[in-house]
Structure 1
Amino acid sequence: MRIKELSQATGVDVETIRFYEKERLLPAPARSDNGYRDYAGPHLERLSFIRHCRALDMPLSDIKRLLAFVDDPAQHCLDVDQLVDEQLSRVRARLKSMRALERQLVQLRARCKGEHEGGECGILHELVAAAHGEACACHPG
């Protein structure tokens, strides 16, 4: 299959497929007589694996490590466990950060209720104060 067909089959952009080839996540395909890339089933499977890992927000460096295990299944999988534990830790840290951001936005939103002109808007007042380096509802002290 051609790169466009591979892209359609996996939902991965053509430029991203080329990037994965360049980064050696995806092996270079054979070339047909007319010079077009000719992808096969293993490319589709590998690209689907990469896409799934990216959907889990795994960095490319971790995906490379996982692919090494796919390519050599005789290796012990403790490193795979550790890799997923590290990703889980990163996700939990981001969730904690997002919860803090949510609290800040709730505090900011509480500064303005109802309809009024911008000059009377508590949210805008807080944001302007913060821009001047002053404490605000979402970043006290």
Structure 2
Amino acid sequence: MLCSVLAGVYNEVLLKGAESAKRGVTTNLQNAFMYCQSILVNGVILIWEGKAGDAVSAENRAAIASFKVFAIISIMSSVGLVTGFFLKHLDSVLKAVASALEVVFTMLLGFLLFGAPLGLSGLTSATLVGAGVALYARPVPVRPLPEDELKIV
């Protein structure tokens, strides 16, 4: 999770940095770097824990080569690409709201498409996400300034 957060922050710096346009760093290039970093870190962790052989075993490759896993990989890859475009044009707070909504939609689509069970923890998280989005979407009340603060300089 730490690597993901650091990659997201670094990606935002690349996207919104003043020099990014001069360096020719496109959204697709940044997404490629972020995915490569994730692959590299996961590979290092598998080797460190001595589970690299298990990860590439024949039975694990067979489990990965199914339609359902391919569909999940495709959906999550498209989410990653959309995240890059969110960060390009919006701020990280709206990206966090989109990620929170992603949790809810992933749970619901997993239930509808793959028959994944809806447990109490999933429903609780969906409720918390919904409450958080509702709080964020509330309009901020604008208070009028007192007359003594309306002085023209």
TM score, norm. by length of structure 2: 0.31
Higher RCO, 1 vs 2 (CA within 8 Å, ≥6 residues apart): 2
The structure that has the greater radius of gyration is: 1
TM score, norm. by length of structure 1: 0.33
The structure in which a higher percent of residues are helix is 2
